[in-house]
Structures are given as structure tokens and as C-alpha cells.
Structure 1
């Protein structure tokens, strides 16, 4: 590994000695040595190297070429973004004591709308992610000590949670369900972060033999589907889609794997139906496809997921998770809420409270806050007015103002969102 303790992208040079493989880091990085190469004296070793470096979310191992003088030699280069940490491979296994990490790792989506919305949410929760170099895959949140942020593909976040390389992650529920495959070590810490809303749904053409098919039950009862001619479904969800079909009695189904532009598959004749994520449904309609009753496999949005083992066994993970959860919950509850303040004349705080609580829209979250307003009158301090502070949902704002007027407020209102 790089001798520098700050994360940086470096070319790593290693020396391997079979059967015990010891990794010897070079103390300095010399750009002119990029063409230098390491040789592995046994072809199976390459797979061991690749397997080992998969522990680092940013590692990449590239085979350059085979040695001309020996079929048992392989040239490779390794690039890794990591902290300096000596590791040892013994017969293909890492020394757990040497590789034990102390930092807590949070996985976040690296690209796309999900990545942007995740960073925006954390910023709104006063958890700004600081990334020194946008090309790096590691960052930090200054408000959370001992926490590393790792930017990964959503499916890799789930895989690394399962493997123990990450402790926490923010991804879509569809991704957790597809790539977690019911793993009991994955815990949904917060199941509704209120962005990334979509649904995993089965869609069929509007035309041809499907023109009058409007439900999953009708699709399953179509006589066309046999062992010789099964229903062909294109999808990128190779775990959830077959599971859904089995559970709903569709026996004669085959699946083809695809990651993008699934809507074109039926028109191209390579599939009869698709299973894909749907947001507004506009893309389906523009490609003459339709959703059917009972065809929604999963309602999804962004979730905070954690490794059960990390929560139980790793020091500090539970406390950090609690703080993140508390901030998320506070922000999400506050969104769409307004604080309304007004002054009201009254003989006492209790008398004002009785008038306020007589109106159902003025109860607030736990009740109104009422405090005296002191002013000087005729040489003495008096409290003839009381300040009223209530928290109301945005949709009930105008109704609450009307009810405050009805019970006798005597000042202009202040709204704070």
C-alpha cells in the first residue's frame, strides 16, 4: 500500500512467495516505474490476487500479458485507493488480526440521480460529505468521527455489506432485495428516506395477444404458455422476477438478462414481457407497453441499510448509526411542517391554552407553546398578551390561521418552515 496515510490512488507493487504470499509495499511512488511488472509463478495465484483485492472497494487488478518464456508467469498491475495498512496472505487467506479495521464505513451511490439526492439529504441533515478529490472513491463526514464514506455502485454496496467490507449503506430497496436475496445479516435501519421512489413492475405490450390482458391472473391463464413455448421475460432482476413468477403460479417462463433499454425488447421480438423499474410510466407508454393489475413486484425508495454483524460486533457502529438515524428522522419529520407564531390577549396562560386546544388544528405536535409577553404600562411591567407557537403541517396551514383568528389572536402571523 502507499506509505501516505491519506487516501490516494496509487500503483502498488508486490512480491509474492508461494505457498505463503507476503505483500511487500514499495515505500515511494515513482511515476516512471509504471511499466514495472510483478510476476506470479503459478497461474492460480492471479485469482487469489484478484479475490484478495476485492476487499478494497476501489481496487482494480489488470492482467497485462502472459510471459513469453513461461506459461506459468503472469504480468499484472494493481491500483488501489487505500490507507497504509500491511496485510498478509497465507495460502490465500488474509491474516484477520493484521487486516482488522477500526474505521466505520458508509457506502453511498457513486453516480446518477440517486447519488445526488443522497448527498442532498445528508447535507440537509447537517452531514455534509467532504470529498477532497472528485476522482477518489473515499470521502469523509466531518461531523462523524471515525467514519469513511465509500462511493460505490448500489449493487456493490449491498454485496460489500454482506461481505463485511461496509457497515452501512444508502441504496434503493429494490437493490437491497435483489442483491441481498433475503440475507438475514442485512437490516433496514430506515425504510423510507423519501427519495428515489419507483416500483418494480411487470409490463406487457398493449397490442397483439396481450391487447385484452389486464391482470396478472389473466396473463397466467393464457393458453399460449407451454413448456415448448414459455413466456419470455427480459429483466435485470434475475432474483426477484423469477421468485415473483413462481409465487404467482406462472410456471412456463424463461428469463433473459438485460440492464438497459428493456422497453424495446417486446417490439424487437426478443421478449414477450419485461420486469423493470417504473417511475412515472411515461417510457412504458411511449413504447406501447402497459402495467397490469397485480403486476407490481415491489414498491421502492431509498433506504438506510446496515450489517447486523457490524451493529453487534464492531465498536462504534451502533452509536454512529443511531446518530445518523436521529438526524434523518428529525429532518424528514420537519419537512413540510410550519411553525406559526401569534400574540393573543388573555388573563392567564391556562386560559389561552383552553381556547387554543378547543380547535383541533391548533394542537401542534405535542401541544402549543404559550409564553407571556411582557411590556411596560403605567410605570409597571405587565403581561396582558401571550405568544402562541404551534407546529402544523403545510396542508393545514391556512386552516390553522383561520382557527387562530377565530379564538382571538391580536397580531399578524409569522410562518417559519
Structure 2
């Protein structure tokens, strides 16, 4: 990931980036929340959100495999069976199609089911109920039927769980009208977005990440308040910057923040946007940022083709193309099913220590190339510039492009490189230019 960013914004050295990935795991030091005395894990944030919403609204109930007696495969529902009883915390057989259909029917009736998939890979067993029953009912009934249901569970790669348990479904569900798709990163996201999802009158796909469950994040008193709720469809700028915009969601936000921290030491200021909501997508925040930084790198762990990054690229090209100083760069997982072997698994997902191809070039390289072109030009024309300008005190106008006002900076914008290249071509094609 770093490699792509460096080349996108102009870093001097490159890192080792592998395949289609470009990033590394997040650490607790890179969290974009306001400082606070208290910390909370994502697991506890999700648990508290469920608890508070069940306490506030008796229509809310939980259903899924092992959510009751076992307290959830990842302990997200810990303590809820004892508090609310088996009527509202219901264990189910391993039949995703069955209990998802029951959940959709309950939502038709006016209840607010929260359906847990042990992993979103298993949601494929219930795709007919999610898409054809839940997502389309409001449209097909001319707005007369709402389906207030939440589908939640871990999404994307974990560690050593193979191709059938590692896929990211953000882009899959984001293509479907009638669904909202949320992707929390921090504890603040987890609490605020899950509450918003449960309160929403329409079906919400809530994509968590297994790796983040145990991560602790600073959390404020405002976030801990039972009334706290985040708006659906609004992204968060986790880190402000001026040189490049990085968009990411779920655990890739942490990777991006870590990459931004490293880039800052090299003089590159990266703005990191936590998307939070994939559908609806906060296009305004993204485009406003790109119009400020003039560069965009999208980061996701899912497949590169037809992904979330591709949709963001399309939006920016449609709305902010004239502001781009360089092509948009997409960072994604490798275009293969997830390998089981640990060494291959690392190659299939973005890592921080990977190369970013960027549209800033090191100034030493640019000046060196320009000088090379000019020396050849002078030699070919057999004219010494100094002889032609023996009384001159400054460079001629057409060479003043080399007198950079940004000489203290490490990198040149792509348009500056283009000017050097064009001038070199003009010199090579018109020797008379040098003697006028």
C-alpha cells in the first residue's frame, strides 16, 4: 500500500507490494477517534448496542446459530440470553435459509429481527430471502411494506480459514437497491452504526470484521450515551491531509491510517476517509476531499473487479475529473479465491508494506532526465548556450521552467514533468529555438 501511495503522491523510495494488494494490518496506535480516558473493544461496543436497543424496543430480537446458550461464536451476544430470555434470543439450527426466511417474515409482521450469520460467506445460503424478499418488498409494494431487519456478522478475511470463509461481500450487497450496507471500523462506528441499523425501517447488511472484534479504541462519553446514533450514508474523515485522499472501510481503515503515518514522515500528507457506509455512499465527502488533494487511492480487501473502489473511481471521474492531477489508484485483494496456506494468504490481501505507484516523481530524477535531454540538444546543435547568452544574467523564458519555485520540495507534480518533457521535445525538433 505504501508503494502505491508513494508513487501517487511522490515518495522517494519504494516498498515491496505484492500482486493486487497494497497494505498491512492496523495497530491500535492508528485510531482516528478523539482522545478519551476510556477505551472499548469493538466486541463490547456491538454487545452494548444490541443490549441497549433490545432494552429500548421490545420488538427487537436476535436469531442465529449459537447466539444464545453459547453467547455467540464471537461472544457478541454475551449475557443477552440471561437478560432477555429465549423468546428474544433464539438459537437456530444450521439452516441459514430457514432462519433468515423466518426473520424476514417477522419483519413483515412488524418485529425488528437482528439475524446473525456466523460468517457472511454463509449468507449465500439465504441470498434469496435477503434480495428477493427483504430488499425488494418496499419497491414491489409501492412503499406500503417495510422490512426492518438487520443481517450482521463477520465479513472478509480472518486468518487461515480458507476460501469459503474469507470473502468480502461489501460490493456484492452494495449493488442491490433496497439494501443499506454498513461497514464499521472502530468502537464508535460499531455502536453508532448498529444502533442506526436496528432503528432503520429498511433491511440493513451490517458487515463486521473478525480481526477487529478484540481491538480496543478510545471512546467518548457522548458515544457511550444510550441515545448515541450515527447517520447512515455519512463517511468520516479519520485523518486530514492535503496531498492525497485515501478511502477505506472496515479493517482497511486501520491499514490506511498506518500507511498515512509512515508517509507523513516522508513529507506526504494523506487524508484518510472511513467510508462507514457503502450503500448509500457518501460521494460528497469523497469528492470534496479529492478536489482538495487532487489525488485518490481507494483501498479494500475484496476482489478488484467491480469492487467498491471501482464505484468510487467512477463517482470521482464523473464529478471531479478536472481536479485530478493523476489517475486514480485502486488497491484491493488479489483476483483469486483466498488461499489456505499462511504465506499465500498474506499475498492475497493488501499489506501496508507494499509499493504504491504514484504520479509524483522524485525531483532528482526529473532534473536528471531534463538535463540529459538538454545536453543532448545542445550537443546536436553544436551550440553552446553560454556563447549565445554571454551577456545574459538569467535563463531565457522558455527554460525558466527549470527554475522551480518549489525547489525545496522533494517531488514534482505530473504537469511539471509534462512541461519538461514537452520542452525537451521542442528543443530536439527545432534547433533554431536555441539560437534566437
Q: Which TM class, normalised by the smaller chain length?
A: under 0.3
Higher-RCO chain (CA-CA 8 Å, sequence separation at least 6): 2
Structure 2 length as normaliser, TM-score? 0.24
Structure with a larger share of its residues in helix:
2
Structure with a larger share of its residues in strand:
1
Structure having the higher Rg: 1
